Structure 1
Amino acid sequence: MVPAQTPRLPRHLQARLEAGLRQRGQGYRTRFAPSPTGPLHRGNLRTALVSWLEARLRGGEWLLRIDDLDGPRNRPGAEASILHDLRWLGLDWDGPPLRQSDHRGLYASLLSALRRAGWLYPCRCSRRLLADVSAPHGALAVYPGFCRERPPRWGPEAGRLPSWRLRLGEGVIRWRERCGSTGCQDGPSTVGDVALRRADGLVAYHLATAVDELLMGISDVVRGDDLWSSTGAQVAVMAALGAPPPSYAHVPLWRDAQGERLSKRHGAEGLAGLRDRGEDAAGVIGLLAASLGMVPAGSRLSAGELLADLSSQGLDRWLQQERRIREKA
């Protein structure tokens, strides 16, 4: 059974969430949220450029958030490299960079409130067990709810703590989607009871992301379409906290000649490789913009010059055109 009410939050946390929602209503605010696991590759940079252009065209704010909660995967010097690359390209952000690691205590307080209100339950399913119920080709199936109705034992057993899962209700999860697939996922069949706190004690991606969109007053999330499938879980967390979601635009990823998306995992080239080949910032901005169909191939221009040549209506038309292309595919 899913709780019917939002959790009772400590007064200071409730005030911060309400302040974030008020800030959202005051104008356009978006964010770029890289993880410091290595240098930005061209695909990351292209998404950053689209996000930056939209914020500037709408007279809004472009915030920078470093998603650094997964300490074992963070690489020394990666954050400094990210900041340097954005500055080199002329993608300026508003205010100081924010770091998720600074919010660990806040996430813990929110998790405790959700747990007290009955929104969470402990799960002791091992990775091996969940792998056995995975979908074909390694895609993890929706959690089947093995632990949902078991007695809630929160303490360690056999030296291992449980993960904490969100008790998701029946029905469809909806959000406003401006570019990607329609903003709609069926909760039970495509989202399921996602983990919000891992068994190793780390806060899970869905909780941290959802909470930070609210605290930062984010009105619009512009990110790669590989994250579309994560949106339902994050919207569900916001709903549990009594907050509406922002608007989303899941922009197409940059793919190679074989149709594979560029990624750090596969060693996709970043700015260092482009600079080694003699490219300057104007050449890289031209390369990124040309890949989006905004300028002819071989163009050279600064981020500011590209911004001056565009309009918010033109960028909107591009986003909508990309959506139509993918819906027909």
Structure 2
Amino acid sequence: MLPVRLRAALQQAVERRPRGYRGRFAPSPTGALHRGNLRTALLAWLDARLAGGELLLRIDDLDTPRNRPGAELAIQADLRWLGLDWDGPVLRQSTRRGLYASVLSALRRAGALYPCRCSRRMLADVSAPHGGMPVYPGFCRRRRVGWGPEAGRLPSWRLRLPEGPLRWQERLAAPGVLDGPEEVGDVVLRRADGFLAYHLVTAVDELSLGITDVLRGEDLWWSTGAQVAVMAALGMPPPRYGHLPLWRDAAGRRLSKREAGEGLAGLRQRGLDAAGVIGALAASAGLVPPGSRLSAAELLQELTPQRFADCLKAAAAPSPQA
């Protein structure tokens, strides 16, 4: 399916996984990091350092209309201020478009994709199974739909999923298994506006960078099925995943970049220095007692891999009232 050189490069990256841990923190430059983002960055950093491995910083900047000037530099500055370093140069998806396009073209040539002209309005009433993500009902799967523009609009490109389950190794959340057609559906890999889709580029990045472990928020658990589907279409195994509970505000709402007070600037305005912020982030995951003050390096010295893993599992466990 893939060109020989491209397949060899992906295979080589995947085969490096047994040589050691490689994680990534992958923010989008759409605004300042909020507390939940910062906690994920800290936990991903601890996970990598406790394993004696690497942590890459990848900037997911392909959705250019949503990017904000200065956001990437602000993200890097926040991480450095907290003492959260990364390995190698900063990676940007915007510089990897050629790789994604090559994979997309190979999938299309292999007949794994089909054009879809369903609008958002047509799909507005599509239901989500078991509270998950809406599943495309396959309206265009068997229709004769052209690849070219019609009425000035191009189709989206969908990945045709085969029957059967999609599986991945899950460290924290629900077991990593979803039925492909019934719970994931045919995944959009290129949007109708020409933008490469999140699931395609994320899956290609995890493979091509040799990522062994992905630690991220539980809101992305359902998205994992779509990304594993892309990897399966390429004949490649997925990395290991750990989906962390979201940090919510006092009203139980998930944090958002729109809430500036929930970011590092707001924490600084409340008088917290880097040691205070690290202490608060670590305490929220049960790593240290509330009110602790310590640097990221000091926190690392206090933890063992087993204690860290136990704390993550305890934080991810459902509460008795749930």
Q: CA deviation at 1:22?
A: 2.1
Tell me the SS of whatever aligns to 2:124: helix
For the 8 Å contact 2:132–2:222, the answer to whether it is kept is no
Once the two structures are superposed, the pairs formed by residues 70-81 of structure 1 within 5 Å of their partners are 70-81=63-74
Q: CA deviation at 1:277?
A: 2.2
CA gap 1:243/1:267 in 2 versus in 1, 3 angstroms: same
Cross-structure match for 1:238 = 231
Q: CA deviation at 1:319?
A: 2.4
Aligned residues: 321
Deviations 1:248-275 (A, max 9, x none): 0001111122221112145451111111
**Which 10-residue stretch deviates more, 140-149 or 304-313?**
140-149
Cross-structure match for 2:277 = 284
Question: Counterparts of 1:327 and 1:52 in 2: how far apart (Å)?
Answer: 30
For the 8 Å contact 2:117–2:145, the answer to whether it is kept is no
TM-score by length of 1: 0.94
**Which of 171, 183, 194 is matched with 1:190 structurally?**
183
For the 8 Å contact 1:225–1:252, the answer to whether it is kept is yes
Question: Counterparts of 2:287 and 2:80 in 1: how far apart (Å)?
Answer: 22
For the 8 Å contact 1:30–1:63, the answer to whether it is kept is yes
Counterpart code for 1:312: P
1:249 matched to 2:242? The reply is yes
Q: CA deviation at 1:134?
A: 4.6
Cross-structure match for 2:162 = 169
Question: Counterparts of 1:193 and 1:187 in 2: how far apart (Å)?
Answer: 8
CA gap 1:131/1:327 in 2 versus in 1, 3 angstroms: farther
Tell me the SS of whatever aligns to 1:325: coil
Q: CA deviation at 1:167?
A: 0.1
1:221 matched to 2:214? The reply is yes
Give 4+ residue runs of structure 1 displaced > 2 Å after superposition: 132-136, 138-141, 265-268, 319-329
Counterpart code for 1:262: L
CA gap 1:125/1:220 in 2 versus in 1, 3 angstroms: same
**Which of 17, 28, 38 is matched with 2:21 structurally?**
28
For the 8 Å contact 1:131–1:140, the answer to whether it is kept is no
Q: Structure 2: which 5+ residue stretches go unaligned?
A: none
**Which of 85, 103, 108 is matched with 1:110 structurally?**
103
For the 8 Å contact 1:123–1:163, the answer to whether it is kept is yes
Cross-structure match for 1:123 = 116
Question: Counterparts of 1:187 and 1:311 in 2: how far apart (Å)?
Answer: 37
1:199 matched to 2:188? The reply is no
Tell me the SS of whatever aligns to 2:221: helix
Cross-structure match for 2:125 = 132
Cross-structure match for 1:57 = 50
**Which of 252, 255, 259 is matched with 1:259 structurally?**
252
**Which of 127, 151, 154 is matched with 2:147 structurally?**
154
For the 8 Å contact 1:262–1:268, the answer to whether it is kept is no
Q: CA deviation at 1:139?
A: 7.9
For the 8 Å contact 1:133–1:140, the answer to whether it is kept is no
Counterpart code for 1:211: V
Tell me the SS of whatever aligns to 1:132: coil
Q: CA deviation at 1:135?
A: 5.1
Tell me the SS of whatever aligns to 2:236: coil
Q: CA deviation at 1:325?
A: 2.7
Tell me the SS of whatever aligns to 2:121: helix
Identity %: 71
Cross-structure match for 1:66 = 59
Question: Counterparts of 2:188 and 2:98 in 1: how far apart (Å)?
Answer: 18
Cross-structure match for 1:298 = 291
For the 8 Å contact 2:82–2:278, the answer to whether it is kept is yes
Counterpart code for 1:277: R
**Which of 22, 35, 43 is matched with 1:42 structurally?**
35
Cross-structure match for 1:4 = none
Question: Counterparts of 1:135 and 1:27 in 2: how far apart (Å)?
Answer: 37
Question: Counterparts of 1:203 and 1:326 in 2: how far apart (Å)?
Answer: 39
Q: CA deviation at 1:132?
A: 3.4
RMSD: 1.8
For the 8 Å contact 2:278–2:293, the answer to whether it is kept is yes
TM-score by length of 2: 0.96
Q: CA deviation at 1:323?
A: 4.0
CA gap 1:254/1:80 in 2 versus in 1, 3 angstroms: same
